[in-house]
Chains A and B, each alone.
Chain A
Amino acid sequence: MDRHQVQRVGFILLAAVAAIVVIPILVVIGIIAVEGAGALSWEFLSAMPRDGMRAGGILPAIIGTLWLTLGTALVAIPIGVGGGIYLAEYARDSLLTRAIRLAIINLAGVPSVVYGLFGLGLFVLFFRFGTSIVAGSLTLAIMTLPIIISTTEEALRAVPTEFRTVSTSLGGTRWQGIRRIVLPQAMPGVITGVLLGLLRAAGETAPILFTVAAFFLPRLPQSPFDQTMALPYHLYVISTQVPAMPDEIKYATALVLLVLVLSMNVVATLIRSTYRRRREW
């Protein structure tokens, strides 16, 4: 084999690997879409569940997931982005920062059910928030933090040091350089991190299991201290806990969750590409 043939074989292998990654995703989405499309209707999206969840709609689960994602964002974005800025721009290499980094890496590896139990202990019981959107959002936020912190830190580190030096040489404080130059340039990466984190939070079941999710609650949440249904948990419930559940409704629920998550993803990509066009390095 000459080197051109070697190259061609290499390309084919890489294309095959890429296909192996992409095909299962498409198959999963395809099956869910085909199986669930029949049960999708305006009523399914806008009505309360009826008949032991075997009929009616999933509105409370949709609204609940939206509330939880919003709550998670409110807590996790400022703390996560702030932490990333601290680690990338301010923290010197010391025992403390190394401990912080180690903690972040380990937090990212903690199983989500452990977060759920932690949230139950701290937010539901100790802080007496009860089973509520507040407790669930805080639990999801803590789970999301490591992702947001480490992607923010990476995005900031990718911005050339020279910009900071130039800003300093022009009489800028460290924070002025970060706010006016570094952070705007790192924005695509920061947004990616935030979204990866929030998407994961929106789809998780275990952390909300003990902290907020209601098995069956055919009304919308009345306050942040109310319980709520949520899509991932609802899907788990109707798939495993309810006898004689029509398959179509399970697939349709999964489809709604998927579309919700994917559309957030699309919005993120759009925001990101607008920022990227303004990137200058």
Chain B
Amino acid sequence: MINSMSGDIQPKVSIENISYWYGDVQALKDVSLEIPSHAITVLFGPAGGGKTTLLRLINRLNDLVDGTRMTGRIWLDGEDIYGPRIDLPTLRRRVGMVFALPLPLPGTVRENVIYGPELAGVVDPAAQDEIVVRCLKQAALWDEVVDRLDDSARSLSGGQQQRLCIARSLALAPDVLLLDEPTSGLDPISTAKVEATLEELKADYTIVIVPHSIQQAARIADWTAYFLMGEMVEYRPGEEIFVYPHDQRTEDYITGRFG
């Protein structure tokens, strides 16, 4: 697991000296890290640490927020994603996002999965069907919804909805999958299913996740970064950070002495 980076010389995503402000409030302070491909990178730490902000910078979803300022650079496969020639819809198709709450779009299960591909120009029904089957299987949801593809997405349980949202992101065949506390609203069984799904997906995707607990971070991390008040305190392979934290602040948080 620790060796996951050695296979790839170039990191998938490079974050380079990123600082970020919402108005006068600084959310990220000079953060740099390299995210390897085909691995699960975990960003953890207390609320307000800047994890979600960093996630949203990687597919430029924070462009939707007014009154912000950023310095630094983010590279995806060696390309500056804040550069002048970046096409935003294309970038967002390459970097998918799953949100903290399951947010199915209005419409059926099937319509949710093909929403992205359809906007990208996939209109052939056979091709769409293929995407629906592939992605629902990848998201470990297929068996549960095989007879309900034309039911409203809202009729699924919370755990099913969240896996549907994962399937919806996978439908665009992204390179990178960003997940912001994807299991925060789920019961332990659904959580286990989502985590198992992620373990399988990392063979094909680069995964960056904000976990909803330290335990979850320890369970799934190939690489782990600890964020505190906008600063990245530590970034280490695998479970190392949980066993031998180098920084006193990390240790305090992990052992529950935080605050």
Cross-chain contact B99 with A166 (CB below 8 angstroms): yes
B116 at the interface (CB under 8 A from A): yes
For B63, give the chain A residue with the smallest CB separation.
A168
Partner of B89, one of A164, A173, A279: A173
* A window 227-281: CB within 8 A of B: 278-281
* A window 144-198: CB within 8 A of B: 162-173, 176, 180-181, 184-185
A85 to chain B, nearest CB (A): 17
Cα distance A166–B92 when bound, in Å? 11
Partner of A168, one of B92, B106, B152: B92
B172 at the interface (CB under 8 A from A): yes
Cross-chain contact A171 with B89 (CB below 8 angstroms): yes
Cross-chain contact B66 with A92 (CB below 8 angstroms): yes
Sorting the interface of chain A by its residue count into under 10, 10 to 19, 20 to 34 or 35 or more gives 20 to 34
B165 to chain A, nearest CB (A): 8
Residue among A163, A171, A185 with most chain B CB within 10 A: A171
Residues in B with CB closer than 8 Å to A162 are: 99, 101, 103
For B90, give the chain A residue with the smallest CB separation.
A171
For A164, give the chain B residue with the smallest CB separation.
B64
A165-B61, A176-B119 as given contacts; A171 in contact with B106, CB under 8 Å: no
Cross-chain contact B61 with A169 (CB below 8 angstroms): yes
Residues in A with CB closer than 8 Å to B96 are: 169-170
Cα distance A184–B66 when bound, in Å? 26
Binary contact track B98-118/A, C-beta < 8 Å → 1, others 0: 010101011100000001100
A281 to chain B, nearest CB (A): 8
B169 at the interface (CB under 8 A from A): yes
Cross-chain contact B119 with A171 (CB below 8 angstroms): yes
Partner of B119, one of A170, A185, A280: A170
Cα distance A136–B121 when bound, in Å? 44
For B116, give the chain A residue with the smallest CB separation.
A170
Binary contact track A70-111/B, C-beta < 8 Å → 1, others 0: 000000000000000000000010000000000000000000
Cα distance A169–B92 when bound, in Å? 6
Cα distance A166–B116 when bound, in Å? 10
Cα distance A180–B64 when bound, in Å? 18
Cross-chain contact A168 with B61 (CB below 8 angstroms): yes
B236 at the interface (CB under 8 A from A): no
Cα distance A12–B21 when bound, in Å? 54
Partner of B172, one of A164, A171, A279: A171
For B168, give the chain A residue with the smallest CB separation.
A170
Residues in A with CB closer than 8 Å to B169 are: 169-170
B132 at the interface (CB under 8 A from A): no
B59 at the interface (CB under 8 A from A): yes
B97 at the interface (CB under 8 A from A): yes
B12 at the interface (CB under 8 A from A): no
Cα distance A173–B92 when bound, in Å? 10
A244 to chain B, nearest CB (A): 61
Cross-chain contact B172 with A168 (CB below 8 angstroms): no
A176-B119, A280-B152, A280-B154 as given contacts; A168 in contact with B105, CB under 8 Å: no
* Interface pairs A-B: 8 shortest CB-CB: A170-B116, A280-B106, A171-B93, A171-B89, A169-B97, A171-B92, A162-B103, A172-B119
